[in-house]
Structure 1
Amino acid sequence: MFSYRHAFHAGNHADVLKHLVLVHILDYYNQKDAPYWFIDLHAGAGLYDLEGKWAQTKGEFVDGIARIWDKPDAPQAVKAYLEQVAALNPDSNLRYYPGSPWIAQQMLRPTDKLRLFELHPSEVEILNLNLEAQGKRIPRQTTVFDTDGFAGLKGQLPPPPRRAVVLIDPSYEDKQDYRRTMDTLKDAVQRFATGCYVVWYPQIQRLEAQQMVRQLDRLDVKSWLHVSLTVKKSSPDGVGLNGSGMFIVNPPYTLKEALKPAMPWMVKMLGQDDRALYKLDDKSA
């Protein structure tokens, strides 16, 4: 149950897509003075050392963030994301990579709140230590729950400011995560229809993953945006991650236009063979 450690995968191509989208959404929410909550159901440790033994074990960041780190021709959405990574690496040497909670705590304002869930005992311990090291303001505006995020979200909705971004990105190591993601998303929309819900999923050779993608596209909501990035063809044995996708309920109206130039560039930079491609679709209110 507690085998997954995101440090093995930190900064890979899936993280690049996930965090590029997240940065744009948080920046959009920051444009209004009204406060909001960022709720992360699977927070992880928050911060990762790319020179550490776990990140070096698989070195997945080499085919992810490292490929685009120093590219001056990056589209604006990519540049905004790279600025958040650069904030941790002021000497321009890529060593530290921010997870979703870290990006959020960098971008959120003092009036906004973070609600972070992490069930893995080692991960949540490191997350708390990382946050405490940031000083008084961050712990004061942040609540960390060492409980199941799927179940815990119910108690957070609707949030008092009636504005929230909710990230649902389990590891999907457990096949039940696909069903739980859909059940949680449907329940959340019923409780708080105007929230922005961000679902990340892996592209893998597993029936449950393919079924969830179809279910997401049929979700009965007013508006959604669906973007995916495939970096290579599936391996013959079906093992490994060949891409990932992001499904956003109630996306910022600016997100699709921001992704139009970003995604072809991402295919060019992160693609590993001739099967690399992206898809971008939406349903408007």
Structure 2
Amino acid sequence: MLSYRHAFHAGNFADVLKHSVLTLVLDYMTRKEKGFSYIDSHSGAGMYQLSDSYAQKTGEYKEGIARLLSADAQQAIPEALLPYLELIRDMNQASADDEISLYPGSPGIAKAILRRQDSAHLFELHPTDIDYLNDFCQRWRKAHVKQSDGYQGVLSLLPPPSRRGVVLIDPPYELKEDYPKAVKTIIKAYDKFATGTYILWYPVVKRTLVDEMEKTFTDSQVKNLLQVEFCQRPDTEEYGMTGTGLFIVNPPWQLKEQLTAILPYLQTQLKKGQDNASYKLEQLVAE
């Protein structure tokens, strides 16, 4: 199935969590001069126009990035969230009061942060998004774009020559099989390259599916696994995404502390309804 288009959801509350974490991880990797590989299993289009019919149809960005950028200044923005927000503003050349028109996908975040010595390997299957992604990466010399299966693509590139790498697995979860498949791909990748940093995004649609992901991870040999989750509203049996989360293998040493500051702020600024937002931050597996 290739019906999923992230353009409908660009800049929503799930992107805020995912991309603020990705920004912190990639920034951390650039602190060492030695280059690293960034591998993205489901890259999407690279950049999204928030004024187009897809984003306007759902308006999800208005409850995500737009709300953060226009947040009440009475609550101080956590320092750890500033690199992400400044990156979005810089792309739009926007001041605090300006509306933004562009929102980057994960390749857009990576392109803004990676250096000449770093490389990006971007996989995408959708026939429309791969064209947009190729156009976006046209002048990005160290980007390698492939229209192929991202799960296999990740495994084929490990370990990277530099022995330094960040892997993002961000599937659309159109099929229930994506939940176990994504976890098993990281377990296989870890077997090949145990020192890499792996970020696995997931939606909270059915809690049992997330519970099964957790169990598969804890039953494996994967070590140093952090789980972070932000939910706009409580779990429900009704259809729809109530929350979003990340499993992070080998996170930067200060990431948990940074998230401790970010999550309460998101709970306040991105809540939906009356104080129903919640978050979770847990070292699921020790180092």
Q: Establish whether residue 253 from structure 1 lines up as the match of residue 253 from structure 2.
A: yes
Q: Is the 2:122–2:146 Cα contact (8 Å) retained in structure 1?
A: yes
> For residues 115 and 161 of structure 2, what CA distance do their matches in structure 1 show?
16
The aligned residue for residue 80 of structure 1 is 83
Give the Cα separation in 2 of the matches to 1:263 and 1:82: 15
Hey, what does 1:4 align to over in structure 2? Answer: 4
Shift of 1:209: 3.5
Q: How far apart, CA to CA, are the structure 1 residues paired with 2:8 and 2:183?
A: 26
Write the deviation string for residues 46-73 of structure 1: whole angstroms up to 9, x where unpaired.
1001111000110111111111013452
CA distance in 2, matches of 1:117, 1:284: 31
Name the counterpart of 1:67. 67
Offset at 1:117?
Answer: 0.3
**Residue equivalent to 1:14:** 14
Alpha-carbon distance, 1:130 to partner: 1.6
Cα distance, 1:97 vs. partner?
0.3
Q: 1:217 to 1:280 in 2, by over 3 A?
A: farther
Matching residue of 1:34: 34
With the length of structure 2 as denominator, give the TM-score of the two structures: 0.93
Corresponding position of 1:123: 129
The alignment's TM-score, normalised by the length of structure 1, stands at 0.94
Q: Distance in 2 between matches of 1:174 and 1:198?
A: 20
| C-alpha distance after superposition, 1:122-146 (max 9, x if no partner) | 10111111222xx3xx1x2010010
Aligned positions of 1:91-106 closer than 5 A: 91-92=94-95, 93-106=99-112
Q: Which residue of structure 2 lines up, in the alignment, with residue 179 of structure 1?
A: 180
| Matching residue's letter, 1:77 | A
Structure 2 counterparts to residues 100-249 of structure 1, below 5 A: 100-132=106-138, 135=139, 138=140, 140-205=141-206, 207-235=208-236, 238-249=238-249
Q: SS in structure 2 opposite 1:88?
A: helix
Residue deviations 1:21-78, cap 9 Å, x none?
1000001101011100000000000100111100011011111111101345210121
C-alpha separation in 2, matches of 1:209 and 1:259: 20
In the TM superposition, structure 1's runs of 4+ consecutive aligned residues that sit over 6 Å from their partners are none
Q: Distance in 2 between matches of 1:158 and 1:259?
A: 28
Deviation at 1:275, TM superposition (A): 2.5
Amino acid at match of 1:129: D
CA pair 218-260 structure 1, distance change in 2 beyond 3 A: farther
* Equivalent residues of 2:187, 2:222 under 8 A apart: no
1:206 Cα deviation (Å)?
6.0
TM-superposition CA deviations, 1:197-222 (whole Å, max 9, x none): 00000001264343113333444323
5+ long unaligned stretches in structure 2: none
Partner of 1:52: 52
Tell me how far apart the structure 1 counterparts of residues 268 and 7 of structure 2 sit (CA, whole Å).
26
CA contact under 8 A between 1:205 and 1:238: conserved in structure 2? no
Q: Distance in 2 between matches of 1:228 and 1:218?
A: 20
SS class of match (2:247): strand
- The residue type paired with residue 79 of structure 2 is Q
Aligned mates of 1:80, 1:214 — CA distance in 2 = 33
